[in-house]
Amino acid sequence: MAEAITAREVLDQILFKYRAAIDVGEYQPFVWPHRALGPYLLIFYLLLPLSQSPVVHYARYPLFALIIYLSVSAIRDCRSPGVTLGYGIGLLNTWTILWSATLIIFNDARRDYKRIERQERLDDPPDVQGLVENIQGNTSALDGSTTDGLKLLHPVGELPEPQPSVTDNLAPRLHSPEVFAAQEPVPSSSQEVYTWQSLPNDLFHRLDFVLDLVTNFRGLRWTHQRPGTYPPPQHIRETLTNPETPASLHPNKYPSYRILFTTNFQYFVLCALTLDTLKYVTSLDPYFLAQGQNTPSPFPVAHTVRLTLSLLFTFASLLNIFLLAPLILACTFGPRLLGPHASTWLYPPLFGSLSSIAEQGLAGLWGGWWHQLFRYAFEAAGDYVGGKLLRLPKKSIPGGIVRVFVAFVCSGMLHGFASYTVLGDTKPISGSFLFFALQPVGIVAQRALSIYLKQKGYREAIPPWMRKTGNVLVVVLWCRLTGPLIADEFAACGIWLYEPLPVSLIRGLRGEGWWRWGGEWVRWYSGDRWWRSGLVFLGG
C-alpha cells in the first residue's frame, strides 16, 4: 500500500510547478505594485476635486477600460506558489473590476455618495445679551474666541442670519425602506453633532474620505449602507433620522469597547481552536490535500462528511480573518490613532442570524445569514442591468428575477476567476461559477412555491414551526445537491493546504511540531523594466 502523501509534499510539488512555469515564461509572478495599479487608478480618479467639467465626468469610461485591461492581464499572466495568494490574484482583480464599476460606472460616487461625520461639538449658546456682555468684558474675544471655549463666528453686535443646514439639499437615502434623512443638527452640551458629508474640498480630508469609501465594502456609515446591516447608534441617528424611521432593527451589538473586545476575542479563540482541529482532521483525507474527489476517505459517508468539513472550514476561516479588524483596529489602535474609524458600531458581526434560514429558506441563507461583504456591488450590477439596460421595474417579478440572477452571476465570476489563477487542477466554470449561478434557481423556485401555497390558501394552514422546518430542509437538501460543485473546487485549488495559525496545539501535542509557519514569504523581483520590479509574495 502506497504511503499517504503529506501537505508539505503537495506544497513542494506546487512550488516546483510554479518555478517551472516561470522559467519557461508560461506565467509571471504577481509583482507589487506593478500588477496592482487598478485600485490605485480608481483611488486617483475618486480623489479629483468635484468639477462640472465634462472631461472629468467622461474620463471615468476610459479609466474603467484601463482598469479592466490591467486586471484581466494579471488574471491571465500571473500565478503564485502560495495557494491562498494564487486564489487571491483572481479574486482581488475580479473584485477590482466589479467595485470600480459600482463606484464610477453604475453610480457616480464622487457626486452622490455621502458619509456620516461628526462636526465640532459646541456648548449650548447663551442668550444674545449675555454673549455680547461676555465678549465686551473679555479682550481675548477679539481673536475670535471666548474664555469658555465658544467659537465666535460672527462680528460683535451682529446677529447671525439663519443659515441653511449643510444637509438641507443632500437628503441622502439608503437603498432600503429605512431612510436616513439628514436634518439640521442642534448643538448641545449633551449631544454630539453629526451630518452627511459629501466629497470634501480639503485634500487630506478627501483622501480619508476616498480611502474609506474604497475599502468599506458594506457601506457602514455611508448612504449606500445595505439593508439588514446595523444602523448608526441612537445618539447619531437623532441628528440624521426623520421621525418615521424605525428606532432600530438591529441595535448596536457592541455599545462599549470592553464588550467589543471580550465578545470578539472569545469568538477568535473559539475559531482558532476550531481551525486547529479542522486542519488536523482534514489532513487525514487526501481530498483536502488536492488529490481529487475520487480518492479513498477515512471517513464514513465520505461525500457528506467532506461537504460538512468544507463548510465549517470556510466559515471558520472567514470569521477568524475578519475578527482581526475589530480586535486590531478598534480595540488595539483605537480612536486615539484612527479617530471615528475605530467606533464600535462600525464593526458589527460578519455573519447574520441562523434564524434567517428558518424564516426565509434559501433567500435567508444568502441574504440574511451569509456574510454580505460583496452584496452591494452584486446588487449594483443587477440594478444596472435590470433597471438601466432592460428598463424592468425593480418590484416587478421579471425585474426581481433578473437582478437576482445578475448578482449571483457576478459572485460566480468572482469565485470562478479566483480558482482559475491557482496552480491546481481546477474547473472554474463547472465548479465555482456553476454553483453560484444555480443559487437563484433554487431561490426563485422556493419563492414561487411559497407564493403558490399562499394564493391557494394552503400556507396559512401550515403551522409556523412546520414552515420553518421546511425552509431548513430545503436549504439542507439544496446545499447537499449543489454544494459539492464548490467544495470540490476548493479542494482542487488546494485552499485547505494553507496554515491558518502559526501555532498548532493539536499537532504540537502529537509531536508533529508546534510552529507551523515558515519558509520564504516575500522577495524582491527585478523585471526587465524598472516599473516591472517590486515585491513578490510567496507565502500562503
Distance CA 41, CA 97 (A): 11
Domain boundary among 306, 329, 347: 347
Dump pLDDT digits (tens) for 408-456.
Answer: 999 999 999 999 999 988 999 999 999 999 999 999 999 999 999 988 8
Q: DSSP class of residue 457?
A: T
Q: DSSP class of residue 495?
A: G
What's residue 168's pLDDT? 35
Own/partner contacts of 399-406, CB < 8 Å, gap of 24 or more, are 401/440, 401/444, 403/379, 404/440, 404/443, 404/444, 405/437, 405/440, 406/378, 406/381, 406/382
Domain boundary among 231, 252, 273: 252
Distance CA 47, CA 52 (A): 15
Same domain, residue pair 325 and 387: no
Dump pLDDT digits (tens) for 153-195.
Answer: 333 333 333 333 333 333 333 333 333 333 333 444 445 788 8
Same domain, residue pair 343 and 361: no
Q: Is residue 304 a part of any domain in this protein?
A: yes
Same domain, residue pair 242 and 307: no
Q: Is residue 2 a part of any domain in this protein?
A: no
Same domain, residue pair 437 and 411: yes
Distance CA 340, CA 164 (A): 26
DSSP assignment string, 400-414: HHHHHHHHHHHHHHH
Same domain, residue pair 66 and 25: yes
Total tally of structural domains belonging to the chain: 4
What's residue 388's pLDDT? 92
What's residue 71's pLDDT? 97
Same domain, residue pair 38 and 129: no
Range of the domain at 13: 7-111+517-537
Q: CA separation (Å) from 356 to 352, 405, 471?
A: 8, 21, 10
Q: Is residue 268 a part of any domain in this protein?
A: yes
Same domain, residue pair 482 and 526: no
What's residue 458's pLDDT? 85
Q: Is residue 396 a part of any domain in this protein?
A: yes
Dump pLDDT digits (tens) for 237-259.
Answer: 877 754 334 444 556 678 889 99
Let me know the angle formed at the C-alpha of 488 by 487 and 493, rounded to the nearest 5 degrees: 100
What's residue 218's pLDDT? 92
Q: Which amino acid is at 7?
A: A
Residues 6 or more apart whose CB falls under 8 angstroms from that of 235 comprise 191, 192
Same domain, residue pair 268 and 248: no
Same domain, residue pair 464 and 529: no
Q: Is residue 503 a part of any domain in this protein?
A: no
What's residue 163's pLDDT? 38
Q: Is residue 442 a part of any domain in this protein?
A: yes
Q: Which residues of the chain have pLDDT under 70?
A: 1-3, 120-191, 227-228, 241-252, 540
What's residue 250's pLDDT? 58
Same domain, residue pair 444 and 532: no
| Residue reference for cell 462528511 | 305
Same domain, residue pair 342 and 314: yes
- Given a contact cutoff of 8 angstroms between Cβ atoms, the answer to whether 382 and 362 are in contact is no
Q: Is residue 324 a part of any domain in this protein?
A: yes
Same domain, residue pair 100 and 141: no
What's residue 119's pLDDT? 79
Domain boundary among 347, 374, 407: 347
Phi-psi domain of 191 (left: phi exceeds 0; alpha: psi -120 through 50; beta: other): beta
Q: What are residue 199's phi and psi, to 5 degrees?
A: -55, 120
Q: Is residue 178 a part of any domain in this protein?
A: yes
